[in-house]
Amino acid sequence: MKDKNILVHISGVVAMIFWGMSFIWSTQVFNYLNPTTTIFFRLIISCVFLGSILFLKDLKGQRERGVRVWKSNSGSFGKVKENLKLFALAALFEPFLYFIFESYGLLNSAPVVSSAIIATIPLFTPIAAFFFLKERLTAWNIAGFIISFFGVIFMLLNKNLELTVSVKGIVFLFSAVIVAVAYSISLRKLTLIYKPLTITFVQNIIGMIYFIPMFFIMEKVTPSQIVEIGKYIVPLLSLGVFASSVAYTLWAYAFSKLGAAKANIYSNLIPVFTAIFSCIIIGENINIQKILGILLVIGGLILSQLKLKKS
C-alpha cells in the first residue's frame, strides 16, 4: 500500500515536469506555427501515440487469451458510448478550451509567468470540489494552499517587486484556470469508471474533432512552415507525446487516487519546473523573487500533503 502511495506521488510530479516543460516547448513551436495549428498537430501526435499503445495491448491480449481485450485496458470500451456526453464535456474543457486559453495567454506572457498563473488551479479547485464532489479539506491542506499561493505571487514579481504581466495574457490564462477546474470535476467522475490511458485517448480524440473546424477556418500552414519543420519538430513531438499523452495519463492516475482538491496541489510545481528548465534551455534568468517563490511553492506542497500521508 505504501509503495502504491509513492507511485501516485511520483506520477503527479512527473506529470508536472512534462507540463512545466510544455510552456517552453510551446514557446519554441510558436516561433513557427500559430497556436491553433500547434494544438491540432499536438493532439494528432497524441492520438497516434496512445492509439498505438492501446493497439499493442490489444494484440498482446489476443496472444495471451485468444480474444480481443480492448475491455481489459479501459474497464470496458463499450461503456464509452454510455458516457459519451461526459467525455464530450470533459474534452470541451480540456484539451479544447484550456489549450486555446493557455496558448494565447502564453503568447502574451513569459513561460514562467504563464505557468505561475496556471498554478493557481489548486486555489480554486477546493471550492468547486466542495460544491460538486463533496470533498473536504483539512487545515493542513488549506495552509499549504495559502503558502503556495504566496509562492506563486513571488514568482510573478520582478526584481523591483512589480508585476510585469500583460492584461490580455492574464485574462486568457485565468480563463484557462477556470476551465481546468471544471475539467477536474468531470474528470473525477470518469476516473471512477475508466482507466487513465483510455480517458486520455478518448478525450484527445474528441478534442481533435473540436479543433478541426478552427484549424481549417482560422489557420493556414504555409510552405515555408513545412520546410522549417526540422526547427520545431522536436518540441512539437514532445508536446504530443509527453505533455498531451504521458502527462495526462499519469495525472488521471494520480487524480483517481487523490481526488480533485488534493491532486491539483501538484499544479503548484508547474512554475517551479518551468523556471528551472527556462533557465537551462532558453537562458531565462532566475532572480531572488523566483527562487523564494519556488521554495514557498514546494513548502506549501509538502505541508498540504502531511495529512494525506497520515491517513
Residue 195: per-residue pLDDT: 85
Q: Which amino acid is at 31?
A: N
What does the alpha-carbon distance between residue 116 and residue 137 come to, in Å, rounded to a whole number?
23
Per-residue pLDDT of the chain (311 residues; tens, 9 = 90+): 555 678 998 999 999 999 999 999 999 999 999 899 999 999 999 999 999 998 888 777 666 665 444 444 444 455 777 888 999 999 999 999 999 999 999 988 888 888 888 877 877 777 777 777 666 767 777 787 788 778 877 777 666 766 667 778 889 999 999 999 888 878 878 888 888 888 899 999 999 999 999 888 876 767 777 778 899 999 999 999 999 999 999 988 988 888 776 777 788 788 888 888 888 887 777 777 778 887 887 788 777 766 544 44
Helices (H), 219-269: 223-227, 229-238, 247-258, 260-264
Q: Which amino acid is at 171?
A: V
Contacts of residue 101, defined as CB under 8 A and 6 or more positions apart, other chains included, come to 172, 173, 175, 176, 179
Among 128, 101, 127, 151, residue whose Cα is nearest residue 299: 151
For 41, the grid coordinates are 498537430
Largest CA distance in the chain: 67
Residue 71: per-residue pLDDT: 46
Residue 101: per-residue pLDDT: 95
Phi-psi region of 157 (alpha: psi -120 to 50; beta: other; left: phi over 0): beta
pTM of the model: 0.82
Residue 299: per-residue pLDDT: 82
What is the domain partition of the chain in residue ranges? Answer: 2-310
Grid cell 486559453 in the structure block, residue: 101
Residue 2: per-residue pLDDT: 55
What does the alpha-carbon distance between residue 114 and residue 172 come to, in Å, rounded to a whole number?
10
What does the alpha-carbon distance between residue 30 and residue 124 come to, in Å, rounded to a whole number?
29
For 97, the grid coordinates are 478550451
Among 289, 297, 293, 294, residue whose Cα is nearest residue 158: 289
Among 51, 49, 53, 35, residue whose Cα is nearest residue 95: 35
For 84, the grid coordinates are 459519451
